[in-house]
Amino acid sequence: MTRMPISLRLHRLLDPTGRASRSAGWVNRVLAVCIVASSIIAIVDTEQAISDLAPGFFLWSERIFGAIFLAEYVARMIAVGEDPRYRGLAGRLRYAVTPMALIDLVAVLPLFLGEIAGNTQIVRLLRLFRLLRFSRLGPFSRAATILLMTLRARLPELLLSLLVALVVLIFSATLMFLIEGDVQPAAFGSIPRAMWWAIATLTTVGYGDVYPVTALGRILAGMTALAAIGLIAAPTGILATAFAEALRRYHHERMEPVAPDAGQEGAVARPQP
């Protein structure tokens, strides 16, 4: 009996859909737990009072999770050879610079940087980037694919919405500069300064640190706030509709008839494996 190559076994084991083998589903679950646990520990570690209580726990937790992610990274570099696009050394080097491979690499870097430079702010930030690795796992991978399909399908409409928002931002900031600039030079003394107010208003954040005091300025602020509702609603509606369409198309493509007459009444369709 011919033995299965190690690269093929790893490829099935690390299959993001979890359908290549039963073990693949468990591997994805274990990795998801490791990602969540390492991120929580990295967040708690930023609280000095807590990290001082058990410094050894945080140190060895990072080493253990880092070793797990390193082993997974090496396994993926071996398994990717089963993909015709990345066979051989040159193919693996091409894969190493793909976005997904770079996300995997970022998960490993804190292990080495932490040993060399210590627990710096940069190392702590890189640990939190491990959350991006959810896009590699099971349902998260499929959801990320659908999201990318949605963005690509509606990119022109989203760019138009962004352009309109930019025009409104500059226009409202310019008017507020002309109206309030002499009254509040510290807040509205230039268009760039007035842009901070415009950004806070158009994003409906409204920090309240900068606001108009003249009657005309308040009228403009009210009109800008009303315009912000439409500016926020437009891209939200575009994305929601496109996401629903992409999700419907994704599920439709995964369905296949079980018999030649599957298109007739009473026929049954089943998901593709």
Residues in the chain predicted with pLDDT less than 50, given as ranges, are: 1, 18, 256-273
Amino acid 199: pLDDT:
92
CATH of the domain at 92: 1.20.120.350
Same domain? 10 vs 131 = yes
Helix (H, G, I), strand (E, B) or coil at 269: strand
Amino acid 264: pLDDT:
44
Q: How far apart are CA 76 and CA 107, in angstroms?
A: 13
Amino acid 213: pLDDT:
93
Nearest to 194 by CA among 217, 215, 161, 216: 217
Q: How far apart are CA 106 and CA 73, in angstroms?
A: 10
Q: Which residue has the tokens 């726990």?
A: 57
Same domain? 177 vs 257 = yes
∠ CA 238-240-243, nearest 5°, is 105
Q: How far apart are CA 45 and CA 22, in angstroms?
A: 35
Q: Which domain holds residue 50?
A: 6-138
Same domain? 114 vs 177 = no
- Tell me the per-residue pLDDT of 122-178, one tens digit each, with 9 for 90 and over: 888 888 888 877 766 655 666 667 777 777 878 888 899 899 999 999 999 999 999
H/E element, 256: strand 255-257
Token pair in block for residue 70: 């390193």
Amino acid 253: pLDDT:
66
| Residue where a domain stops, chosen among 96, 113, 138 | 138
Instruction: Identify whether 227 is part of a domain.
Output: yes
Same domain? 125 vs 166 = no
Q: How far apart are CA 242 and CA 236, in angstroms?
A: 10
Nearest to 220 by CA among 179, 268, 249, 255: 179
Amino acid 123: pLDDT:
85
Instruction: Identify whether 236 is part of a domain.
Output: yes
Instruction: Identify whether 202 is part of a domain.
Output: yes
What type of residue is 43? I
Amino acid 266: pLDDT:
44
| Residue where a domain stops, chosen among 138, 170, 205 | 138
Q: How far apart are CA 203 and CA 229, in angstroms?
A: 9
Same domain? 129 vs 20 = yes
Instruction: Name the burial class of residue 226, with classes exposed (0-12), middle (13-18) and buried (19+) by CB atoms within 10 angstroms of its CB.
Output: exposed
Instruction: Identify whether 145 is part of a domain.
Output: no
